[in-house]
Chain A
Amino acid sequence: MNGFLQMVARDLRLALRQRADAGMVVLFFVLTAALFPFGVGPEANLLARIAPGVIWVTALLAVLLSLERLFLADYEDGALELLALSPLPLEAIVLAKALAHWLTTGLPLVLAAPLLALLYNMDPAGLPALILAMVLGTPSLSLIGAIGAALALGARRGGVLIPLLVLPLNVPVLIFGVGAIDATLAGLDAKPHLLFLGALFLAALVTAPLAAAAALRQAIE
């Protein structure tokens, strides 16, 4: 447990010292979402209706931006080999890195999302569902992303490969994430959608560290 916390603390410290990287993700999120009104026109009703979808899709893309760095720096400077040889299982290391990744990218997105919702004139009644769905959904994005990032290691143009691997796997999170907000706005119960998001998170929590660790072992062999 000590090693796990040490691993999380190291990644957080690295992210803190390179603040620009984490800041860029949130900035990308806000900027991209702000582009849609220019594309589809400023009609308030339309914007309010597409808000949940736009917020989720841009959040998905923003997370993608940050995935390449998840293992690449450690792979290139030899730290990944040493991590694989540490007494801490590689699965635990993946989990620690995914947790640190969520704290530095997922959490800022959760905090920025309500702001975008207001910008889009979304009914404030949907805000609790939006935040809950983001809290439940974004950790899955970090976990699933870790699989893609690990698989793309060692491949040429890994950065282009990651979206191709990860985006299809993220579709369920997108569907139920948007579904939870839409249901609330339509006066329905958001609970089934949130339960699905929770189930997806639990499934990713178990499978992603195993899959990513296997991919990392391949990469360093």
Chain B
Amino acid sequence: MTLFQGRELDCLRGERRVFAGLDFSIPPGGLLVLTGANGSGKSSLLRIMAGLLRPAGGTLTWDGAPVTDDPEAQAARLHYLGHLDAVKPVLTVAENLAFWAVLHGGAAAEVARGLEAFDLTVLAGVPGGMLSAGQKRRVALARLLAAPAETWLLDEPTVGLDTPSLARLDVAIAEQRATGGRVVVATHAALDAPDAETLDLGDFAVAPGEAYSAGEAGW
């Protein structure tokens, strides 16, 4: 069974140690929910998982091999959804999606699937600049479906979504897991997935006295 694992991960932001000694392991079909107070490092952990941020210590492995061995293969395996929606105001919804789909090796035809899953079909020809914040969020979520990837890393995906869209997100996550995909979600909202594994970042917090230990920042 291919595992996506992190061992002894340390995270340093500026001079502050956000968390230390964090372990996680996600099997195929797994859902990992990251919880914790604001500033506890949920976004940082997701960025480390995505490879956008280098951990100050520890290793990230895919099927036992460090992901740093082949960062491009790792990038091809995952979709990352950050706080920003990356929707271009002058491109239509369909054009926005088609670009990301083709870049990830998907077919333009799969765009329709993403549009449908988040009820964006009627907005397909609307420029991104005309969308509301919630609609932009839905476009960003539709990107996950427009080109399949094994692992989804979602940072606060529910922000700005209305109730029907929340239900659609739950369906999309369930379908992704049913096909053997992994999902990591940082959220404060309750997800409709009783078998989810929860990782409380507060458990790995560094005591305030040690968070700013001099000499370790590496300057």
Contacts and interface: CB of A to CB of B under 8 A. Distances in A.
Contacts of B52: 81, 84-85, 220-221
A95 to B, nearest CB: 14
Interface string A1-21: 011001100100110011000
B84 A88 contact: no
A17 B100 contact: no
Interface string B93-109: 00100011011110000
A2 B102 contact: yes
Contact of B82 (A10, A74, A78): A78
A87 B72 contact: yes
Interface residues of A, number: 25
B95 A85 contact: no
B86 A78 contact: yes
Contacts of B76: 87
A41 to B, nearest CB: 44
A10 B99 contact: yes
A82 B91 contact: no
Contacts of A82: 80, 82, 86, 100
Contacts of A84: 52, 75
A59 B82 CA distance: 38
B54 interface: yes
Contacts of A89: 72
A77 interface: yes
Interface in A53-85: 74, 76-79, 81-85
B82 A81 contact: yes
Contact of B103 (A13, A17, A86, A221): A86
B7 interface: no
Given A6-B102, A85-B80, A14 B50 contact: no
B84 A77 contact: yes
Contacts of A220: 52
A14 B91 CA distance: 7
Interface string B4-24: 000000000000000000000
Nearest to A80: B86
Interface of A: 2-3, 6-7, 10, 13-14, 17-18, 74, 76-79, 81-89, 220-221
